[in-house]
Amino acid sequence: MAGRYRIAVIPGDGIGKETVPESLKVLDAASRRFGFALDLAH
C-alpha cells in the first residue's frame, strides 16, 4: 500500500470539529504502520 495520498481535511460544523482531530490520529498511525505518506490540506 506504499504511496502518497492527498487528503482534504474539512472539519465542518457540529461533530466534525471533534471527530477530525481523532481521525487524523488514526490516519497517522495507519500511514506509519503500512508505509504510506499523507499530504493533508487543511
pLDDT of 40 higher than 80 = yes
The residue whose grid cell reads 498511525 is: 29
* DSSP alpha helix (H) spans, 1-42: 16-34
Q: Say yes or no to pLDDT of 24 above 90.
A: yes
Whether the model clears a pTM of 0.75, i.e. scores above it, the answer is yes
Counting other chains too, the contacts that 29-36 makes at CB distance below 8 Å and 24 or more residues apart are 34/1, 34/2, 35/1, 35/2, 36/1, 36/2, 36/3, 36/4, 36/5
Note the pLDDT of residue 14: 86
Bridge partners, residue 4, by sequence = 37
Q: What is the mean pLDDT of residues 19-33?
A: 96
d(CA 36, CA 31): 5
pLDDT score, position 12: 84
